[in-house]
Amino acid sequence: MKEKIAQLLAQVSDLKCKTAKEVEEARVRLLGKKGEITRLFEEFREYPSERKKEFGRALNELKQAAAAKIEELKSSIGSETESAGPKEDLSMPGTPFELGSRHPVSIVRQEVVDLFRKFGYDVAEGPEIEDDYHVFGALNFPLNHPARDMQDTFFVSTGHPNPLLLRTHTSSVQVRVMESMKLPIRVICPGRVFRNEAISARAHCIFHQVEGLYIDEHVTFADLKQAILLFAREMFGPDAAIRMRPSFFPFTEPSSEVDVNCNICKGKGCNVCKGTGWLEILGCGMVDPNVLEASGIDSKKYSGFAFGMGLERIAMLKWQVNDLRHYFENDLRFLSEFETSIEV
Ligand code: DAH
């Protein structure tokens, strides 16, 4: 018995295990129901009491040593497995999250909206698929006007007195506003428009416009001129000057096209302004009495002005991008030129 105890004690102190499984096997071998130490205790029980004194304490010490060793091995292996494998470096910077950037047309649209909001204008929107009446009829286009031709307009349905079509301008929204809003009216209508054009550097079948409409008593051409001048100065800087050229639109009388002085050559003449020193920015005029009456507004009491501008055109002047196609190709190299991140 004495020898056996000494032998097992040596075994316990030399015990080495690599895995949790090996520790468990060692525990069963020594301390399990049929384990070597358990068996020694069984033998010990058979001993006469005078011999028990001889081995009792040594046997207990062996059991305690074995149990302690097993615990020690368990915890050291446990902590090794936890720390095994690649460690997380909590000081590493996070994975960057690409937010993208706003499209140049969206940036200009927002600028125009913010600017007119400051002047007290509301924002109104209308449908992109419109009917002939709102795009042409109510705006005083004669029945045989070329804009009503398939060559210029994308029709959605034909063979109907009021066919559906993709709106060719946002002036259609001014009709909807006049039909539904209380007077006085002060709105801008940003939106997407469609024309059956061959795509080139200067023309596209999809583009964006902002329509403006102001109707009240005693509105005059002087108010129109002042509104456009204020817009040009806010958009192109305090030195911006405007020039109004007589023009024609069916829905305004008189009508005008507006140029702003070329901010690239400062009016001296360059290839962007084709040597003239001026760049066209919008069309405008006093709302034709026929248009007011078509929407049920008394043209003897009320008058108003309207204007319409192309957002791609304004963006081209702002950033000197002279090919319209860039705005629709979604090339990230182009888009990332304008803003590095969006505001969230
Ligand atoms: N609707 C015109 C266009 O698409 C732009 C325009 C010109 C709008 C004169 C107006 C205006 O309201 O008065 O070319």
% of residues, the chain, pLDDT over 70: 96
pLDDT 10s digits, 131-188: 999 999 999 998 888 888 878 899 998 888 899 999 999 999 999 999 999 999 999 9
The residue with greater pLDDT, 262 or 217, is 217
340 C-alpha to ligand 1 centroid (Å)? 33
pLDDT score recorded for residue 106: 94
pLDDT score recorded for residue 343: 53
Q: Is the pLDDT of residue 82 over 60?
A: no
Backbone phi, then psi, for 14, in 5-degree steps? -90, -5
Average pLDDT over residues 2-8: 85
Q: Which residue has the tokens 């999809």?
A: 206
pLDDT score recorded for residue 76: 83
Q: Kind and range of the H or E element at 9?
A: helix 2-14
| Assigned fold of 104-335 | BirA Bifunctional Protein; domain 2 (3.30.930)
- Of 123-132, 165-174, 326-335, the poorest mean pLDDT is in 326-335
171 C-alpha to ligand 1 centroid (Å)? 6
The residue with greater pLDDT, 196 or 46, is 196
263 C-alpha to ligand 1 centroid (Å)? 24
Query: Whose C-alpha lies nearest to ligand 1, atom 12?
Result: 307
Closest to 190 (Cα-Cα) out of 115, 136, 138: 115
287 C-alpha to ligand 1 centroid (Å)? 11
Please give the Cα distance from 44 to 55 (Å, whole number): 8
pLDDT band at 80 (very low <50, low <70, confident <90, very high): low
- Of 16-25, 129-138, 236-245, 300-309, the poorest mean pLDDT is in 16-25
pLDDT score recorded for residue 83: 58
Nearest atom in ligand 1 to the alpha carbon of residue 193 is: 4
Which residues are CB-neighbours of 95 under 8 A, at least 6 positions away?
none
3-state secondary structure of 3: helix
The residues with which 303 forms a beta bridge, in sequence order, are 216
Long-range contacts of 140-147 (CB under 8 A, 24+ apart): 140/250, 140/251, 140/288, 140/290, 140/291, 140/294, 141/250, 141/251, 142/250, 145/250
Query: Whose C-alpha lies nearest to ligand 1, atom 4?
Result: 169
Q: Is the pLDDT of residue 273 over 80?
A: yes
% of residues, the chain, pLDDT over 90: 53
pLDDT band at 230 (very low <50, low <70, confident <90, very high): very high
177 C-alpha to ligand 1 centroid (Å)? 15
Pocket of ligand 1 (CB under 6 A): 169, 171, 211, 249, 252, 283-285, 306-308
pLDDT score recorded for residue 296: 95
- Of 39-48, 122-131, 275-284, 321-330, the poorest mean pLDDT is in 39-48
Nearest atom in ligand 1 to the alpha carbon of residue 285 is: 13
Strands 185-194 and 122-123: parallel
Query: Whose C-alpha lies nearest to ligand 1, atom 3?
Result: 169
Nearest atom in ligand 1 to the alpha carbon of residue 174 is: 12
Q: What is the mean pLDDT of the chain?
A: 90
Q: Is the pLDDT of residue 11 over 80?
A: yes
| Residue to mutate (ligand 1; options 251, 281, 305, 309; most atoms within 8 A of CB) | 251
The residue with greater pLDDT, 47 or 217, is 217
